[in-house]
Amino acid sequence: MEQRGCGAWRERRQSVVFMVALVLFWTVASAQIRYSISEELKEGTVVGNIAKDLGIDPSTLKERGFRIVSGSTEPLFQLNQNDGILSVNRKIDREEVCERSSVCLINMKTVLENPLEIHYVSVEVLDVNDHSPSFPEKEKRLEISESRLPGARFQLQAARDPDEGPFSVQQYTLSHNDHFRLEVKDRGEDGKIPFLVLQKPLDREAVRSHKLLLTAIDGGKPPRSGTLEISVDVLDVNDNTPMFTKDIYSVSVNENAPLGTMVIKVNATDLDSGQNGNVIYSFGNDVNSNLRKLFDVDTITGEITVKGQIDFEERDSYLVDIQASDQGQLPLTIDKSVKIKIVDLNDNAPEIEVTSFSKAIPEDSRPGTMVALISVTDLDSGLNGKVLCHVLEDVPFTLLPSLHDNMYSVVTKSPLDREKVSQYDLTIVAKDAGQPSLSSVKTISVVVSDVNDNSPEFSLSPYTFYVTENNHPGASLFSVSASDRDINENTIISYHILRDGGDVNKWASFLNINSENGNILALKRFDFETLKTFQFQVVATDSGTPSLSSNVTINVFILDQNDNAPVILYPVSANGSTGGVEEIPSNVNAGHLVTKVRAYDADIGYNGWLLFSLQEVTDHSLFALDRYTGQIRTLRSFTETDEAEHKLVILVKDNGNVSLSATATVIINVVEPKEAFAASDVKSAVKDEEENSVTFYLIITLGSVSALFIISIIVLIVMQCSNPPDDSSKYLQDVNYDGTLCHSIQYRSGDKRYMLVGPRMSIGSTIVPGSNGNTLVVPDHRRRASGEVYQRGRVSDWQMSDNPN
């Protein structure tokens, strides 16, 4: 017992180990860790021990191929497969790896195999103050006229520091000077901008040039700095301002003019001589960057040319300030505004906008019902902006112009039917009157909403169902289904059984129906021997307002079930028990008929087909029982050693799926020939007479069944040939079905229908559709979406308890 317990324990342990190994094999583990390092660390600096932090055995790292999955570029980190230590592969410059980022994260993915594990490692690179502020130029030269008044401001270029946050530029300082002071303006993301402010008038005769040193300091500890040398040259005074030759400049230019097209040429003169009299042109200080992208001015000639794409729809005119400046040491300037008018071209297609739209319209809407209100706009002007609209498809909708220009109403022009078309896609075309004309289209979808104008339709009419007797009261027997071509609430169907008290629906009181799904329940148990067929009507009603309904007739056929046990007719003793005593002479030969057991079964088909067998016998070598006829015969002659009395227990059972049985006991006494002579002669005469009678009736029954079988086939062929293709008959059935004639089954396979006609079979018997026995191929006049439909017609059977042959 202990060994058996140990063996079972080992088997369980092996099973558990196998299951754990299988789970580990198919599972991919993953984890995520994060380290922080400073930038500019030396190559080989340890970041962290990944194997230790993840709890991985270092001895398995190389065997499992522990590595970093990297791209094609040189990796920043390297992983030691011996101990799992992550170290710096090369010096990391945070400003190079994470430019302009407040947080610098380097994400890596590590992989172990057998089993596969993926771990995500994030390394945050912390900024260090490793960059000094720097100016774009080492030296800045400013020219300031001695006539400039105190308070004049001169913007200087800001210093840049690649470091972020507190390590960026934090302040500026200016070397001591009596004439200038420093102001710093903070512009947020653009940083701090230094301005040089004149605080004391300049005197060129006293000092021609001033040298200043501007220092930018970051927030590091210790701080880093950068310097800019500023040279301020004091210029002499220029006392004549340039003058334009015209008081007003105005010009027109086509939109979409090619780049480089000359718009206008301005001209200004200066009475001064030399450099103070040479005039150059530029845009005024107030000209924004958008205008500078559209136009350009030649500094020498004063020609204004097209530089960018000019669009009339964006703006129909521009006012451009042109500045004329001399080239004196202290240049004098004058501004003049040039008005540029843009000429419209037909370069814009109409635009369609739906201002009001009913997405759904009832299918019973009258012609003229408005569906949508659309407006059409064209950014062009004149004829280029005049638009005409129409609907492209042949649909029951049209466009009606409104009182306002370029406004249209989409209305119905004919009746709608949702069941035919539930949605319309209207393509509206808008076309302007320009040369060449431009057009555009817009599609709107109009949904036709449902109106309750369709009654429910049953999937079959009439229905035929087959119910096995002895059903459970309250259990679902079958179901009916109806559909409604409408939608939403109009298609919600409820069912009820018609109970009008007529002959057709007299059995409706024994049934109930689920109003939601059409499942039909029986309130009583059916008995085939009492009721074989009945019919009733079911009404399907939708939930529309007002509601619509339809009804269908349902034919129900009760199928036999093996619920009756065989009854022994012979032998029966005087007190009514199933048993008897037979006497036979001792000198009979082998094959002698001793007696015949007769039995009856109230069921039909295989449920009523009886077989006989010996359940108990004193001597198996002496007697034999015919399993089909119930005849008991001797197998050999009697000997002196045989007993005088023999007991035989006969088992009679039917052929139902769950067979039922009965037993009869026959006592056979072996007597001397003289004693049994008289009784034997009388019994032989009676038995011969009974056997002849049974044989006669059996021949008549077989002949009748064969004749009915042949007649059924002929009638079936004639009916099928005479029916037109659109015959409304859906079933081969007889309302007077009583379960006493022949049995037929009609079924569908592919595009063909088959009918099987033959002796009646129990509900438990099997029919193989592939078999060709007793099968007729029936032309298929109708195809049903429900697949194979089985229909059953009239049923018959004949009892084979006495002689199955």
Contact 399, 407 (CB under 8 A): no
d(CA 530, CA 122): 84
Residues 250-307: pLDDT tens digits? 999 998 899 999 999 999 998 776 787 899 999 988 888 889 999 999 999 999 999 9
| pLDDT(728) > 70 | no
- Which helix (H) or strand (E) segment holds residue 699: the answer is helix 673-722
d(CA 110, CA 32): 10
> Which among 52, 54, 60, 51 has a CA at the least distance from the CA of 113?
60
d(CA 795, CA 66): 79
> Which among 96, 117, 116, 119 has a CA at the least distance from the CA of 107?
119
The pTM of this model reads 0.38
Place 488 in a pLDDT band, splitting at 50, 70 and 90: confident
d(CA 746, CA 793): 8
The confidence score (pLDDT) of residue 107 equals: 84
Phi/psi of residue 123, nearest 5 degrees: -120, 115
Q: From residue 250, give the alpha-carbon distance in Å to each of 61, 289, 318, 340, 372.
A: 82, 21, 10, 6, 46
Residues 135-167: pLDDT tens digits? 988 899 998 887 888 999 998 888 888 777 778
Q: What is the mean pLDDT of residues 322-342?
A: 90
- The most confident of 98-112, 550-564, 670-684, 745-759, by mean pLDDT: 550-564
| Distance of alpha carbon 727 from the chain centroid | 42
Contact 601, 562 (CB under 8 A): no
The confidence score (pLDDT) of residue 188 equals: 75
The confidence score (pLDDT) of residue 744 equals: 42
The confidence score (pLDDT) of residue 677 equals: 52
Contact 760, 604 (CB under 8 A): yes
DSSP symbol at 472: P
Contact 110, 89 (CB under 8 A): no
> Which among 593, 484, 595, 610 has a CA at the least distance from the CA of 548?
484
> Which among 575, 550, 571 has a CA at the least distance from the CA of 495?
550
Q: What is the mean pLDDT of residues 442-471?
A: 89
Name residue, tokens 């060129």. Answer: 204
Length of the chain in residues, anyone?
A: 805
Least confident of 105-119, 201-215, 711-725: 711-725
436 preceded by cis ω (within 30°)?
Answer: yes
β-strand partners of 156: none
| pLDDT(734) > 80 | no
The confidence score (pLDDT) of residue 239 equals: 65
Tokens (6 digits) for 266: 């301005």
Alpha helices in 98-142 (DSSP H): none
Q: List the 225-235 sheet strands across, edge first.
A: 139-145, 225-235, 209-218, 169-174
Residues 572-603: pLDDT tens digits? 866 656 678 888 998 899 889 989 999 988 88
DSSP per position, 487-513 = -GGGG-EEEEE----SSTTTTGGGEEE
Max intra-chain CA distance, the chain: 180
- Which helix (H) or strand (E) segment holds residue 249: the answer is strand 249-254
The confidence score (pLDDT) of residue 695 equals: 64
The confidence score (pLDDT) of residue 5 equals: 38
d(CA 610, CA 766): 18
DSSP per position, 538-556 = EEEEE-SSS--EEEEEEEE
Q: What is the mean pLDDT of residues 355-371?
A: 85
Place 347 in a pLDDT band, splitting at 50, 70 and 90: confident
